[in-house]
Amino acid sequence: MVRRDITEKFERIEHIRDKLILRQADLLDLLSIIRLIEEANPDEIYNLASQSFVPTSWAQPILSADFNAIGVTKMLEAVRLVNKKIRFYQASSSEMFGKVHDVPQNELTPFNPRTLYGAAKVYGHFVTVNYRETYDIFAVSGILYNHESPRRGFEFVTRKITNGVARIKYGLDDKIVLGNLSAERDWGFAGDYVEAMWLMLQQETPQDYVIATGVPHSVRNFCEIAFQRVGLDMHKYIVSDQKFFRQADAYRLLGNPSKAFTSLGWYAKTSFENLVLTMVDADCERIKKQLK
């Protein structure tokens, strides 16, 4: 499902476009969602749509709430009205834990969001629970921690690093400006996490799951591996600027994926190092092609 746009941007899926059927609808327009579900008649729906960049949620708070909270309600209401047998996946987020009560966090850890993005995701999460319990819809939420890949947006710190490293390697830039290098995240590979989403909808009973690696790594760790890949000393190129520091950096978001392992047989197969190397290699290859 894609929104109509004046300039359609499908570069991230060009390599599989011939395998996809793209249909237009809008997360904020219930009628368009109902019509799409009636036409497509799906067995499963994965709601991965959101305004997903945390800083933007402060700049556009109403729009972010419309997408990340009310939009979930409209998707679920469309399922209820058209076909309650559809299995529904909601993309929840570790940002819902916010100022954490426990480390690591599991499915029973109380939510305590400290961003507008996290607060809207909490709404979407509990709306999913309520539709499941009230209307007997197979609706689940995956509480996913940071998941990355070569298709990550350039505004996110991981891609900012790997793209920056590639640009420095080929002489296009001479520095990368980052925030708190000591900030830690539970980073995993998006491909592994999508497998977990699919597994959740194949179970006999709908349940919510924390999807994470359970291992923290700092921004500095990420930079070290990235620069080592291209044979450069990170200390010559990294600048830390206070304006990029986030309040959330003080909170230790670390997931406990034991329930996913026990119930789904799922675990993060891609190591942190291989994730970083894959992203660096992809950006180096992309820039190399652009320079030819």
Looking at 144, 161, 194, the residue that finishes a domain is: 144
Identify whether 287 is part of a domain. yes
- Is there a single domain that holds both residue 281 and residue 159? yes
Task: For the chain, give the percent of residues with pLDDT over 90.
Answer: 82
Told to judge if 77 belongs to the known catalytic residues of this protein, a careful annotator would answer: no
- Is there a single domain that holds both residue 73 and residue 124? yes
Q: What is the CATH number of the domain that holds 62?
A: 3.40.50.720
pLDDT of residue 6: 58
- Is there a single domain that holds both residue 19 and residue 108? yes
- Is there a single domain that holds both residue 224 and residue 94? no
DSSP 145-202: --EE-TTS-TTSHHHHHHHHHHHHHTTS-S-EEES-TT-EE--EEHHHHHHHHHHHTT
Please identify which of the residues 117, 131, 145, 209 carries the catalytic annotation. 117
Q: Which residue has the higher pLDDT, 50 or 176?
A: 176
Identify whether 206 is part of a domain. no
Enter the pTM of the model: 0.93
- Is there a single domain that holds both residue 43 and residue 69? yes
Please identify which of the residues 57, 64, 93, 149 carries the catalytic annotation. 93
Identify whether 74 is part of a domain. yes
Does residue 117 carry a pLDDT above 60? Answer: yes
Identify whether 205 is part of a domain. no
User: H or E element: which one contains 219?
Assistant: helix 219-229
pLDDT of residue 189: 98
Count other C-beta atoms under 10 Å from residue 8's C-beta: 10
4-51: pLDDT as tens digits: 775 667 888 888 999 999 999 999 999 999 999 999 999 999 999 987
pLDDT of residue 248: 57
- Is there a single domain that holds both residue 136 and residue 223? no
Told to judge if 218 belongs to the known catalytic residues of this protein, a careful annotator would answer: no
Domain that holds residue 133: 11-144
- Are the C-beta atoms of residues 264 and 209 closer than 8 Å to each other? yes
Told to judge if 271 belongs to the known catalytic residues of this protein, a careful annotator would answer: no
- Is there a single domain that holds both residue 21 and residue 133? yes
- Is there a single domain that holds both residue 161 and residue 109? no
pLDDT of residue 168: 97
Identify whether 234 is part of a domain. yes
Identify whether 278 is part of a domain. yes
Q: Average pLDDT of the chain?
A: 93
Identify whether 5 is part of a domain. no
237-260: pLDDT as tens digits: 999 887 777 665 557 899 999 999
Name the token pair of 59: 């700049």
- Is there a single domain that holds both residue 285 and residue 172? yes
Residues with Cβ within 8 Å of residue 204, at least 6 apart in sequence: none
Max alpha carbon distance in the chain (Å)? 58
**Amino acid (one-letter) located at 119:** A
Looking at 122, 144, 166, the residue that finishes a domain is: 144
pLDDT of residue 274: 98
70-110: pLDDT as tens digits: 999 999 999 999 999 999 999 999 999 999 989 999 999 99
Tell me how many domains the chain contains.
2
When pLDDT is averaged across residues 156-179 and rounded to a whole number, the result is 96
Beta pairing class for 188-189 and 238-240:
unpaired
- Is there a single domain that holds both residue 134 and residue 242? no
- Is there a single domain that holds both residue 60 and residue 26? yes
pLDDT of residue 4: 78
Please identify which of the residues 32, 52, 64, 95 carries the catalytic annotation. 95
- Is there a single domain that holds both residue 111 and residue 30? yes
196-252: pLDDT as tens digits: 999 999 999 999 999 999 999 999 999 999 999 999 999 999 998 877 776 655 578
Identify whether 126 is part of a domain. yes
Q: What is the CATH number of the domain that holds 174?
A: 3.90.25.10
pLDDT of residue 135: 98
